[in-house]
Structure 1
Amino acid sequence: MKVDLFDFELPPERIALRPARPRDSARMLVARGPHETIDRSVRDLPQMLEPGDMLVFNDTRVIPARLEGRRGDAKIGATLHKRIDLRRWQAFVRNAKRLREGDRVEFPQGVTAFAETRHADGSFTLAFEGDEPVEVLLERAGTMPLPPYIAGKRATDEQDRSDYQTMFAEKDGAVAAPTAALHFTDDLMAALAERGVLTETLTLHVGAGTFLPVKAEDTTEHVMHSEWGRIDAATAERLNAARAAGGRIISVGTTSLRVLESAAGEDGKLAAWEGDTDIFITPGYRFKAIDGLMTNFHLPKSTLFMLVSALMGLERMQAVYAHAIGHEYRFYSYGDSSLLLP
């Protein structure tokens, strides 16, 4: 499909620069079936679901993966996006033309790394010096990797260390938040439990590639970034049982969805799965593992807008987004939510 089909105009003032407070006070646009569109709040989520439905969250934790350093007189910015091993990460580099393989980059707090390998996409493998795990070094020297549409409008601050982290965050490794789950609070989780809604977690370490623009003219020419994920056997069995009992599997975020669809067989049954996934979901895809999706509003011509268009239909999502823009919903990572029920 032509990538231009997934374009739309978004007024800049619709981009949220801070999250709603409290988190579950964000608005939620419910799109149910081919026609029903309802303006609600995230706090209304329990009433939108049925007892026995299953919400699936991503328990990845965002690490402060953005570093600002120098190679000699040259300023070098690095955003780590994929862990290779204990000492090495693949990173997108700002001012990469000033960096060559073998160069040493000095970051704050005594953190240093060598530019080991330049990749075809312009990123580098950075090999960090010392014995400490890179995650420890990042806590000392890094900042939260806010998306470019936020970071380009304001400076990252200490508040982002908590704002850009979900209540489910446990496993270090993401360099972007699974933002659909940013809306959840203890009060909302209690209300969901009282309603009889079930919950499970899995892991997908979200990479910075999620923000990369689609530069191809046709979706068939786009190379999808890969991300590491995992679902264990016990979780898969509980999800299968919930669905067999008539409950719906509602993915909280496109990241959880990518793991579920990667782990599902053609019959829709889930099994233990672990590894890299580069699944690219566009209209025409047959969903196997999920019955609905709770997600924020995505960028024009992005792989994520293509994914929601695959779930609901392109014309339907164009209408939903037009409604959201016209009714002044807040967009992107810190923005409002949508609940998509085909």
Structure 2
Amino acid sequence: MRTDDFDYPLPEELIAQEPWPVRDECRLLVMDRESGALQDRIFKDIAEYVRPGDVFVVNETRVRPARLLGQKRGSGGAAEVFLLREVLGQTPHGNQSALWEVLVRPGKRLKPGSGAVVDIPDAQGQVALSVEVVDWVEGGQKGERIARLSTALPSLDEALHAAGKTPLPPYIKEYNGDMELYQTVYSRRESSAAAPTAGLHFTPALIEAVQVAGAQWRTVELEVGLDTFRVVDEEDPAAHAIHTEFYSVSPETAAVVNEARDAGGRVIAVGTTSVRSLESAAAETGRVRPVDREATSLYILPGYQFKAVDALITNFHVPRSTLMMLVSAFSSRENVMAAYRHAIEQRYRMLSFGDAMFIC
């Protein structure tokens, strides 16, 4: 197995630069997991594939305003800070200061020990937030730093919403529309650097239709990191260092998933992040345990035996990515690559704002 096995020619004009006008009216490519047989449908048709006793599991995380654009104090040079995750257990007291793992640009001028501080303005040009680079992240692979965020506003949350911007994937170049369309309609706590995009296609009416058809609707939370967009550079995908993310599975979700499987229902994961959450929480028997914000670095490659997930709703993924490998593991590389060739021939819209697949 080589990384090149998960490459495919992606026409740039098929990379969706904005969401479909109506969430659940985008296209849906349905693929039989075993045979690879394909059907071209519309996303809201997903309710027609529901069997009584199924359970849909979605990642309810929201994308935080993690992109901070400002100026280096003193020189006035432009700088960018990207929030990865809060450093739990090491944050200063109060809600006006905290330590975060971050990425910065320009990296050479924002090194720990240099006294570098970046001031982040709000829409009116007033400094809402200051970021001081204080240390390196131990074991970091991309120059991650520890930074102290502080504000004179009542809380950091208020400052982030005043000054921060919702990050979009690097292949979405000029979207200036409603950023709420890069959030799922069921999203809750802001804890991710990127959206669980398979869920973007659901509307409240479609969620209700799925439940009327006999499925249950349950949630997990996985804090999506930037590495979700990262391609694999190594020739051997097994040599790639998979990213670590934090996930939670509530006792209620674990119980419903286990009961559904015991009764012969299917567990339908909405998105690869839901897959990684459920599979990380599953024993070899398939029983899913409750989890309260544990780390997972589960790397799913072809040959992996799925324990908890029976069907998958997902978007089309970047060539040579770990997500291409995950969906190939869920069916087969041959089936998935044939489906992608079909999607490109039929001019499906690709990647985060694009159309969807249902592998069942």
TM-score range, shorter chain: over 0.9
Distance 2:2 2:146 in 1: 33
TM-score by length of 2: 0.90
Question: Helix, strand or coil for the counterpart of 2:19?
Answer: coil
Corresponding residue number in structure 1 for 2:55:
54
Pick aligned residue for 1:250 from 243, 247, 268: 268
User: How many angstroms does 1:158 deviate by?
Assistant: 5.4
CA contact under 8 A between 1:253 and 1:294: conserved in structure 2? yes
- Residues 165-194 of structure 1, C-alpha deviations (whole Å, 9 max, x = no match): 101111111110010110001221121122
CA contact under 8 A between 1:46 and 1:197: conserved in structure 2? no
Corresponding residue number in structure 2 for 1:286:
305
Corresponding residue number in structure 1 for 2:95:
none
Pick aligned residue for 1:312 from 319, 331, 349: 331
Question: Is residue 88 from structure 1 mapped to residue 99 from structure 2 by the alignment?
Answer: yes
Corresponding residue number in structure 2 for 1:224:
242
Corresponding residue number in structure 2 for 1:185:
203
Pick aligned residue for 1:106 from 115, 119, 128: 119
CA contact under 8 A between 1:83 and 1:173: conserved in structure 2? no
Question: Is residue 273 from structure 1 mapped to residue 291 from structure 2 by the alignment?
Answer: yes
User: How many angstroms does 1:118 deviate by?
Assistant: 2.8
Question: Helix, strand or coil for the counterpart of 2:133?
Answer: strand
User: How many angstroms does 1:270 deviate by?
Assistant: 0.5
Distance 2:177 2:7 in 1: 34
User: How many angstroms does 1:133 deviate by?
Assistant: 4.9
Corresponding residue number in structure 1 for 2:23:
23
Corresponding residue number in structure 2 for 1:79:
82
Distance 1:16 1:69 in 2: 29
- Residues 5-54 of structure 1, C-alpha deviations (whole Å, 9 max, x = no match): 11110000110111112100010000012231000111100112211111
Distance 2:224 2:337 in 1: 26
CA contact under 8 A between 2:150 and 2:156: conserved in structure 1? no
Identity level (%): 40
Question: Is residue 157 from structure 1 mapped to residue 185 from structure 2 by the alignment?
Answer: no
Distance 1:34 1:135 in 2: 49
Equivalent positions of 1:26-41 (< 5 A) are: 26-32=26-32, 33-41=34-42
- The two structures, once aligned, show a CA RMSD in angstroms of 1.4
CA contact under 8 A between 1:74 and 1:98: conserved in structure 2? no
User: In structure 2, do the counterparts of structure 1 residues 133 and 222 end up closer, same or farther at CA, with 3 Å as the change threshold?
Assistant: farther
CA contact under 8 A between 2:31 and 2:357: conserved in structure 1? yes
Distance 1:218 1:135 in 2: 42
Aligned letter for 1:18?
Answer: E
User: How many angstroms does 1:92 deviate by?
Assistant: 2.1
User: How many angstroms does 1:205 deviate by?
Assistant: 1.2
Query: Bigger CA drift: 301-310 or 210-219?
Result: 210-219
Distance 2:177 2:315 in 1: 23
Corresponding residue number in structure 1 for 2:43:
42
- Residues 230-249 of structure 1, C-alpha deviations (whole Å, 9 max, x = no match): 01222201110011111100
- Residues 58-117 of structure 1, C-alpha deviations (whole Å, 9 max, x = no match): 111111110112222432112212222351221222321221114111111321011122
Question: Is residue 117 from structure 1 mapped to residue 135 from structure 2 by the alignment?
Answer: yes
Aligned letter for 1:13?
Answer: E
Distance 2:36 2:322 in 1: 24
Higher-helix-fraction structure: 1
User: How many angstroms does 1:336 deviate by?
Assistant: 0.4
Pick aligned residue for 2:354 from 300, 323, 335: 335
CA contact under 8 A between 2:102 and 2:147: conserved in structure 1? yes
Corresponding residue number in structure 2 for 1:325:
344
CA contact under 8 A between 1:27 and 1:336: conserved in structure 2? yes
Question: Helix, strand or coil for the counterpart of 2:171?
Answer: helix
- Residues 111-150 of structure 1, C-alpha deviations (whole Å, 9 max, x = no match): 1011122344212222112475543321110111000000
- How many residue pairs get aligned? The number is 337
Corresponding residue number in structure 2 for 1:8:
8
CA contact under 8 A between 2:6 and 2:321: conserved in structure 1? yes
Distance 1:317 1:113 in 2: 44
